[in-house]
Structure 1
């Protein structure tokens, strides 16, 4: 199957595990076959020993026959026991090589997928849901592991057993061999179809469980909304419906599982009956001995599980192929956000947008149209406009989360597409509009962008973001653990922690994307007062829809529908009575007064 060829590199990487596994499969298989022949000799010995014992009845030779018979039976028993012990040892090493190999491959594949995910651009994440990404790195990788480990292991066992056992059986009696093996293909095909039904129902259960888990997660995350709208009963009814669906699917799977083992036992029993019946007739004819029947019964039992596993492993391989195809679909996607020259630059902060236009690749929406401006080192530029005017797109393009559709953006005279991505982004402090805090301590959230955390820098950043006093009021201070997405904090506190996270980096370029929207006017003024000191001699970009947040900037850009409609200082823009900036200012002033 072509998709699974992508896993060949892992087999080469762990070739010694694989080759060791093949060796141990072969040794354990041989030690499973040899006892069957010893049992045949033992059975025949018992028959011959009884005949001789009666033949020499009443003579001294009878005692010698008895002693010889006892020694031989004991020898055969000891040999069978030793082979069983050795086989157990080799089976242990077989799993320690092949199954361990599959776990190592699983770990490598998950790491590679995660690393590849991080290299993909934001447009990729806008096209794919988080659930889909999680499914491919967990469920799909797990299915591929089942192919690399159990499927290969049991297939090797089956091949070796058939190659070694069937010729031995044919050498004893062709007719008995054909009748004995007759039910086994039926068993394998039956298991294949039953297992596919089980896997399909398991997938349905997994999807049902995933939907129920998502519902519960959203319900608990949005518990404030549910309570405020008094929708607890409605939420409980929806959960009950989802839970009942999961129960029905689980019971349906349980019914199919109940048929699984009876089917195996029936077909195995059928092979045993055929062996005894046909073998008995052959013994009567004198073509084989009773020991041969015992040998055949052991062979049938040895072949039963691998043949059963053939149907199961065939299903595993099919599912692994589908999962690897899904993984390959993502792994084959390459990021277009790559550096052309990989220039490492100590940024001074001279930023220039020249005739920049940008259209989002996934939606086709044009966010910017022929935008040109310049921010000189140490200056503060504010960008203001109505919702959807393209303000946040300016920040995304400067951080090179996207590449421009037309025009160019340069930093210190170098096109950002020529700069090394890590060099550019490590010197930018970015506070996004949608604040995201990790489920970790406040300390670790603020120090997130630092390789070597600095206590003094962290404390100063918290003071500059006007969140220090709030944090030390918590019982555990900076070691306070935040809930999911920072739910422990208020909206304004989350924004200020996010600002502190950007400030602690001491960036060359500071970008605040509507970072003060959730704080009150007094807190906003306090933060802006602290930021004035921080932004001194540091290139800064303030994006906001509130005039109060941008009036301290050296220059202000006013965007409307992706175009610059005004450009100047606060005082100059206020003198234009017909301008959009004046209209925004008066509207917000009236809102605050109201």
Structure 2
């Protein structure tokens, strides 16, 4: 990335600082006090040498007071600058982190299809911390040491401007070293950030699926996979450390060479005659003091480049187009009439056709079952309803209004969804059932749980509905988790209910309870059921059979069996399998 884009990134970061200008101004004042008082150390040497040569009674008392005042001011300036800058920087990082997370929540479904959760997680954790480095320590050093360098340079120019210009002649060489190191830091930082995403991704996969890993005896395989991505991260980090370790001493050596040349020049008889011994000592002291802040400024370049590389990826998320929400129609509660009008869908414009010419109507209160082999397009078809995806061809209407005309909030308020993969949160059972509601009605929660036949096992838990269920409900069985998800859908009380393999994780007894519950819940609701076990959908008003993205059969259970087509073939296969298992 070139310097222009680096400045553009920093300017954008500074937009987060603008509302905090008072704290920033106090910090700047503090660092100005620090720089001024630190520069007086050189002037103190002038006073000390000149005072020794021309002693006086006033000098004996004034110089100690001068020293105390100088260091007291330096302490006040350091505190004011550091604390206020940390306040501003942490506030900036907080706002940036929540902005990134908020934007992630509004990105379209395809973004999450294309990015692993591990990589996204690293952006709101590791990447933001890298920006923290650039916004806290880096900015603190730049302000503190930068003003100190300005103060020392001003003092040198005031003392002897000719010698100062000689000393500053080394600046372009230092600039070249810093520029080279900076570009290398940026390149390596991008690699390190990607590798951290890989480390997080692999660790997240393995820790989440540890049962599968152990069942297949793949511990060694996963260990080697994790070791490989971690080793790549280590290698890139060492390259970064090498760059930092080489650049700092090179810059220090250049400063030392300039200082040595300066001393040699300053001791020329002609120059010494123009300066008092105190001025000469003060000049050399100020020049020598320049080495530390220059070293600090050169070392901080790596942290700045890491922060800018991280900021670039964070801003990439912030700049991505949000989920399309151009509709404004909000009817309150819909009747539940759904129309698929010659709908086609591709994940990519030039990709494979996933759905092709899907055309059917659903009346309010109907139960529609979608069946077919894996990959036939059932879940994709259902995902068009809440606008997780948009049709590539045709259109989808709800109560006669295209779904694109609805606001997203209004559209999704009409839907209750129970996915094949149940998602629960590390909160209480009551909070999971009433998810998204700040102050839910306790009686409604209990009623929803009873309707889903979940109250029985909830009441046996230590704290009942207030029991924390762990990460994704790890304290519950698969059937219990599924019943909680169904209770959540019942509590939502939406006019359209979507059940995507909602009974897939239930045992026979639980499934029987759920089927009874669903018969009640589905009344006066438009219901879409995706089911693998055909025995669960025999009472559906219509069963639709999909194959390779096309709707090939439609009718009741009896009608499709009489048709003796694809549905009848699937039914025979399952019936024979169930009989063999029995």
Q: Same fold (TM over 0.5)?
A: yes
Relative to structure 2, which stretch is displaced further, 557-566 or 319-328? 319-328
Residue 129 of structure 1, CA deviation = 2.4
Q: Which residue of 1 aligns with 2:562?
A: 575
Q: Which residue of 1 aligns with 2:42?
A: 36
Relative to structure 2, which stretch is displaced further, 89-98 or 476-485? 476-485
Matched residues in 1 for 2:243 and 2:300: separation?
18
Q: Which whole-Å deviations, capped at 9, do the CAs of 1:104-162 have from their partners, x for residues lacking one?
A: 11111111111111111101111222233233333443444444444445444565445
Residue 551 of structure 1, CA deviation = 1.1
Matching of residues 325-340 of structure 1 within 5 Å: 325-340=312-327
Aligned partner (choices 560, 564, 573) of residue 587 of structure 1 = 573
The reply on whether 1:130 has 2:136 as its aligned counterpart is: no
Residue 255 of structure 1, CA deviation = 7.1
Matched residues in 1 for 2:246 and 2:344: separation?
64
Relative to structure 2, which stretch is displaced further, 437-446 or 409-418? 437-446
**C-alpha spacing 1:44/1:275, structure 2 compared with 1 (3 Å):** farther
Matched residues in 2 for 1:323 and 1:243: separation?
19
**C-alpha spacing 1:486/1:454, structure 2 compared with 1 (3 Å):** same
Q: Which whole-Å deviations, capped at 9, do the CAs of 1:526-556 have from their partners, x for residues lacking one?
A: 2111111111122211111221121111222
Matched residues in 2 for 1:372 and 1:435: separation?
29
Task: Provide the secondary structure at the position in 2 that maps to 1:450.
Answer: coil
Task: Provide the secondary structure at the position in 2 that maps to 1:339.
Answer: coil
Matching of residues 370-385 of structure 1 within 5 Å: 370-385=357-372
Q: Which has the larger radius of gyration?
A: 1
Relative to structure 2, which stretch is displaced further, 216-225 or 556-565? 216-225
Residue 590 of structure 1, CA deviation = 0.7
Q: Which residue of 2 aligns with 1:118?
A: 105
Q: Which residue of 1 aligns with 2:541?
A: 554
Matched residues in 2 for 1:196 and 1:342: separation?
51
Matched residues in 2 for 1:230 and 1:162: separation?
61
Relative to structure 2, which stretch is displaced further, 476-485 or 176-185? 176-185
**C-alpha spacing 1:451/1:475, structure 2 compared with 1 (3 Å):** closer
**C-alpha spacing 1:259/1:563, structure 2 compared with 1 (3 Å):** closer
Q: TM-score normalised to the size of structure 1?
A: 0.85
Contact 1:348 1:508 in 2 (8 A): yes
**C-alpha spacing 1:163/1:209, structure 2 compared with 1 (3 Å):** closer
Q: Which residue of 1 aligns with 2:16?
A: 10
**C-alpha spacing 1:91/1:425, structure 2 compared with 1 (3 Å):** same
Task: Provide the secondary structure at the position in 2 that maps to 1:515.
Answer: coil
Relative to structure 2, which stretch is displaced further, 334-343 or 151-160? 151-160
Residue 352 of structure 1, CA deviation = 2.0
Relative to structure 2, which stretch is displaced further, 318-327 or 189-198? 189-198
Residue 85 of structure 1, CA deviation = 0.8
> Unpaired segments of 5 or more residues in structure 2?
none
Q: Which whole-Å deviations, capped at 9, do the CAs of 1:166-225 have from their partners, x for residues lacking one?
A: 343234335543555566665665566667777877776766666555444443333323
How many residues were matched structurally?
Answer: 574
Q: TM-score normalised to the size of structure 2?
A: 0.87
Residue 557 of structure 1, CA deviation = 1.8
Matched residues in 1 for 2:346 and 2:271: separation?
87
Contact 2:343 2:396 in 1 (8 A): yes
Matched residues in 2 for 1:199 and 1:568: separation?
62
Relative to structure 2, which stretch is displaced further, 341-350 or 185-194? 185-194
Contact 1:187 1:307 in 2 (8 A): no
Matched residues in 2 for 1:449 and 1:284: separation?
78
Matching of residues 38-77 of structure 1 within 5 Å: 38-49=44-55, 69-77=56-64
Matched residues in 2 for 1:237 and 1:566: separation?
49
Task: Provide the secondary structure at the position in 2 that maps to 1:367.
Answer: strand
Q: Which residue of 2 aligns with 1:435?
A: 422
**C-alpha spacing 1:200/1:377, structure 2 compared with 1 (3 Å):** closer
Contact 1:337 1:400 in 2 (8 A): no
**C-alpha spacing 1:19/1:233, structure 2 compared with 1 (3 Å):** closer
The reply on whether 1:219 has 2:225 as its aligned counterpart is: no
Matching of residues 158-177 of structure 1 within 5 Å: 160-174=147-161, 176-177=163-164
Matched residues in 2 for 1:418 and 1:192: separation?
52
Contact 2:340 2:358 in 1 (8 A): yes
Q: Which residue of 2 aligns with 1:520?
A: 507
Aligned partner (choices 440, 443, 455) of residue 453 of structure 1 = 440
Residue 230 of structure 1, CA deviation = 3.6
Matched residues in 1 for 2:531 and 2:57: separation?
97
Residue 315 of structure 1, CA deviation = 3.9
Q: Which residue of 1 aligns with 2:346?
A: 359
Q: CA RMSD in A?
A: 3.4
Task: Provide the secondary structure at the position in 2 that maps to 1:98.
Answer: helix
Task: Provide the secondary structure at the position in 2 that maps to 1:92.
Answer: helix
> Unpaired segments of 5 or more residues in structure 1?
50-68
Aligned partner (choices 392, 413, 438) of residue 400 of structure 2 = 413
The reply on whether 1:103 has 2:90 as its aligned counterpart is: yes
Residue 429 of structure 1, CA deviation = 0.8
The reply on whether 1:530 has 2:517 as its aligned counterpart is: yes
Matched residues in 2 for 1:439 and 1:288: separation?
74
Residue 510 of structure 1, CA deviation = 1.0
Relative to structure 2, which stretch is displaced further, 102-111 or 295-304? 295-304
Matched residues in 1 for 2:309 and 2:242: separation?
26
Aligned partner (choices 13, 26, 31) of residue 32 of structure 2 = 26
**C-alpha spacing 1:282/1:506, structure 2 compared with 1 (3 Å):** farther
**C-alpha spacing 1:97/1:342, structure 2 compared with 1 (3 Å):** farther
Contact 1:337 1:402 in 2 (8 A): no
